[in-house]
Amino acid sequence: MDLLFVADPLESFKPYKDSTFAMMREAARRGHRILACEPRHLRWERAAHRAGPVMAQVREVELTGTSGADWFRDRAAPQPPAALPLREVHAVLMRKDPPFDLEYLYATHLLEQAEREGARVFNRPRALRDHPEKLAILEFPQHIAPTLVTRDAADVRRFHAEHGDVILKPLDGMGGAGIFRVGADGLNLGSIVETLNAGGAHTLMVQRYLPEIAAGDKRILVIDGRPAPYGLARIPQGTEIRGNLAAGGKGVAQPLSDADRRIAEAIGPVLAARGLLLVGLDVIGECLTEVNVTSPTCFQEIMQQTGFDVAAMFVDALEAVLARPAS
C-alpha cells in the first residue's frame, strides 16, 4: 500500500524517539511504500473548467536502517517532489505535531476535502477539529478531577478558594508550556491569571492539583478503540511539577492499572467510532487530564522498555481499517 505521512520536515525527526518514524519503519518492513509531505505542500485548485483534487508535493522515502540524521533518503532525488492527488494513495496519516494553530486548522479543511474526493485520512480531519486536546475531557466528566474552564478571574479565585491547591493551564499549550501550580496561600494567583487570560481575552483551564503526579502523568495509547497494554508514566524531576518529557520528565513504561484500563475501555471505542484511529489519553492517578489526538507519541519509549511493539499494533489496526469499506 501507499501511505502518505503529513508531518513536520523529515530532517527534524529524532529517529531514536519519534513515533512517526516508528510507524514508517514498521510499514516499510511490511512492504508498504512510504510517502511524505508537510502541511504547506497541500493544495487545491479550481481551474477554468473544473475543480481538481487536493494535491500534495510528496517525497517517496526509503529508510536507510540507521538512527542518525541520514535515517532516510529520497528515492527520486535529485528530481523535485512529485504532485500527487491524495485520493490516489491508500491512506493519509496526519502526523503534524502541535500546536493546533490556524495553519493546522486550514490543513484539516484541505484534508477533509480530500476525504470527500475519496481519500482515507487518519485521524479524520473533522475529528481532529472536534477534539481540542484539553477541552475534549469535558465530555467525560465522570473520569476527570474538579475542573473549571473560564475567562473570568473571579471564577478562578472562587475555584481556588474551594480547592486550595490548583493547576492553571492555557488551552493551547503543549509540552507542559504555561502550566502553573498555586497552593493554599494563593501566592501570585492574580498575576498568573492575568498572564494566562490576558485581561479576560483568553480562556484558561483550572484543575484541582492531583498529588498522584509524583507517580507520573501516564500516557495511555488507544489504537482503534483498544488500549496498548503498557503506558508511559512521565515522572516530574526535582522541584518540577510537570511530567512532560519536553519539560524534563522521566519516562517509565509500566503495565496499565485497572483504573487506566477502565478509562481507556470506556472512552476508546467512542473516539474510534468518530475516526480517531490513534489517541493518547493522559491520566494522573485515576483522573483523565487530556485527550491527545493530533500526534500522540511514546511508541518508542514503550517498545524500548517493555519489548511491546506499539508500531506493529498501530499498523495492524491501520491495515484492518483499510480492509473495511470507507464509512
Annotated catalytic residue, options 134, 217, 224, 260: 134
130 dihedral zone (left: phi>0; alpha: psi -120 to 50; beta):
alpha
In the set 169, 218, 224, 244, the catalytic residue is: 169
Beta bridge partners of residue 102, listed in sequence order: none
Peptide bond into 78 cis (omega under 30): yes
For the chain, the distance separating the N- and C-terminal CA atoms, rounded to the nearest angstrom, is 19
Q: Would you call 29 a catalytic residue per the annotation?
A: no
Q: What angle do CA 239, 138, 169 make, to 5 degrees?
A: 30
Among 12, 6, 8, 93, which residue's Cα sits nearest to residue 42?
Answer: 6
219 is catalytic: yes
* Residue partners of 81: CB distance under 8 A and separation at least 6: 37, 41, 57, 58, 59
Catalytic residue among 26, 112, 217, 282: 282
Quick check: is 290 catalytic? yes
- Which grid cell is 274? 468518530
**Which is catalytic among the residues 218, 224, 292, 301?**
292
**From 123, 234, 244, 260, the catalytic residue:** 234
Q: Is residue 263 within 8 Å of residue 281, measured between CB atoms?
A: yes
Q: What angle do the packed helices 310-323 and 19-29 form, to 10 degrees?
A: 60
Q: Known catalytic residue: 116? A: no
Count CA atoms within 13 Å of residue 28 on its CB side.
18
Q: Residues 18, 26, 112, 290: which is the catalytic one? A: 290
State the residue for C-alpha cell 500526534: 295
Which of the residues 219, 224, 244, 301 is marked catalytic?
219
How do 33-37 and 2-6 pair as beta strands? parallel
Which entry of 242, 244, 260, 301 is annotated as an active-site residue? 242
Conformational region of residue 186, where left means phi above 0, alpha means psi within -120 to 50, and beta covers everything else: left
| C-alpha dist (Å) from residue 73 to 23, 76, 219, 291 | 17, 9, 32, 34
Lookup: cell for 114: 480530500
Q: How many CB atoms lie within 10 A of CB 100?
A: 19
Catalytic residues: 134, 169, 219, 234, 242, 282, 290, 292
